[in-house]
Amino acid sequence: GYTPLHLACQHGRLEAIKVLLRHGVDFRAKTHAGRTPLHGACYKGDVKVVEMLLKHGADTKAKNRVRTGGDTPLHHACVEGHVKVVEMLLKYGAD
């Protein structure tokens, strides 16, 4: 299921995200479908949330289980047309 961090990232709740990260929550946690908090933030196109997760070491290459081979956060940002997020992901090593 979705962790509190997944939900905070999907809804752009920066202050809640900061508190959760300060308390050491697992920012690499995956849902049953393999989605990380970074997947959700990239889908929504929230640049500030994406940047915060990346600065904490979120995995730009994490794959979910939606399709054969899986989608990365970069796939989500591209499909939704979030150019600034795409640029940031590439800067942090996404491919």
What distances in angstroms separate CA 15 from CA 8, 12, 34, 52, 92, one per listed residue? Answer: 9, 9, 25, 11, 23
Domains and CATH numbers, the chain: 4-91 (1.25.40.20)
pLDDT digits (tens, 9 = 90+) for 16-38: 999 999 999 998 999 999 999 99
**pTM summary value:** 0.92
Query: What percent of the chain is predicted at pLDDT more than 70?
Result: 98
pLDDT digits (tens, 9 = 90+) for 61-89: 999 887 667 899 999 999 999 999 999 99
